[in-house]
């Protein structure tokens, strides 16, 4: 009950005229959350999925238009095979179980990253979900999956070269704005707010082009503990920032 009241107070303090349009989240600390409870790391990943559902719903309700969650990095392939398989399995489960709710909540699913390296089953589920949610309008949920910021930029450069070689564009037309079309986030605004949980303060190869002027908020709680209240705290902190973009 006390927690409920606190959440309400925090919610009331949020300035609805200053809601970030795009929030990006590095969901970190699942393993440590589990370890603290003498549970296998996988238990942390499973509980983490519940926070994903919660945060997606709250984001839509708050009026956030784009939510990008870092689910699996290009470097995460270096983890033990069992853990990688478990994470991929969880993703399939999430997509299958949540599809109805996602559609009901008017959420459009988009994936940032190369899905060709994923298992054929997961790839098919993703393509199906993207197709079934493409008309949805309330919130775009970008799932960064097999995503790496450097990989994304190199991929973009290759696409630019192809377009130049095929006379589709002129080299003079490449600039900071037009290059964005070659990124996975094409046509989307840059993140206004980046949240990383678990107390780590690094980017870990996440949206390195798009985050040039993003506000960073670091939360000490592990991702499976990152509930609505913790989210509101981060939004509030963001709203107290003074964004200058190099100006005065």
By beta-carbon proximity to ligand IPE, the closer residue of 92 and 174 is: 92
For 227, phi and psi rounded to 5 degrees?
-95, -175
> Site mask, Mg ion, residues 17-56, x = CB under 5 A?
-----------x----------------------------
Secondary structure class of 196 (helix, strand, coil) = strand
Q: Which of 8, 202, 241, 243 binds ligand IPE (CB under 6 A)?
A: 202
Task: Annotate 85-110 with DSSP letters as a single string.
Answer: HHHHHHHHHHHHHHHHHHHHTTEEEE
- DSSP character for 173? G
Give me the helix-helix angle, 120-133 and 81-104, nearest 10°. 20
Task: Say how far apart CA 31 and CA 28 lie, in whole Å.
Answer: 8
- Residue 148 binds ligand IPE (CB under 6 A): no
- Please choose which of ligand IPE, Mg ion, none residue 202 contacts, taking the beta carbon within 5 to 8 angstroms, the exact cut-off set by kind: ligand IPE
CA distances from 53 to 45, 105, 141, 183 (A): 13, 11, 11, 26
- Residue 152 binds ligand IPE (CB under 6 A): no
- Residue 26 binds ligand IPE (CB under 6 A): yes
> Site mask, ligand IPE, residues 55-94, x = CB under 6 A?
---------------xxxx--x----------x-------
Binding segment (CB under 6 A) for ligand IPE, from list 21-29, 49-57, 187-195, 209-217: 21-29
* Residues belonging to the active site: 28, 76
């Amino acid at each position: 009950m006390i927690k409920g009241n606190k959440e309400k107070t925090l919610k009331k303090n949020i300035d609805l005229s200053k809601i970030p349009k795009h929030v990006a989240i590095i969901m970190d600390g699942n393993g440590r959350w589990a370890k603290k409870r003498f549970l296998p790391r996988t238990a942390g990943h499973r509980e983490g999925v519940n926070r994903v559902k919660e945060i997606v719903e709250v984001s839509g309700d708050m009026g956030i238009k784009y939510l990008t969650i870092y689910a699996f990095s290009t470097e995460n392939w270096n983890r033990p095979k069992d853990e990688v398989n478990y994470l991929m399995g969880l993703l399939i489960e999430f997509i299958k179980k949540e599809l109805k709710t996602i559609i009901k909540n008017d959420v459009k699913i988009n994936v940032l990253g190369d899905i060709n390296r994923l298992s054929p089953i997961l790839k098919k589920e993703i393509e199906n979900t993207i197709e079934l949610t493409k008309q949805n309008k309330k919130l775009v949920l970008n799932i960064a999956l097999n995503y790496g910021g450097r990989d994304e930029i190199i991929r973009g450069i290759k696409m630019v070269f192809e377009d130049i070689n095929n006379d589709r564009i002129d080299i003079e037309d490449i600039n900071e704005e037009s290059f964005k079309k070659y990124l996975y986030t094409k046509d989307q605004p840059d993140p206004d707010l980046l949240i990383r949980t678990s107390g780590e303060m690094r980017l870990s190869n996440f949206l390195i082009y798009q985050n040039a002027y993003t506000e960073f908020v670091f939360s000490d709680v592990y991702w499976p503990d990152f509930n609505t209240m913790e989210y509101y705290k981060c939004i509030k902190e963001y709203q107290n920032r003074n964004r200058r973009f190099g100006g005065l």
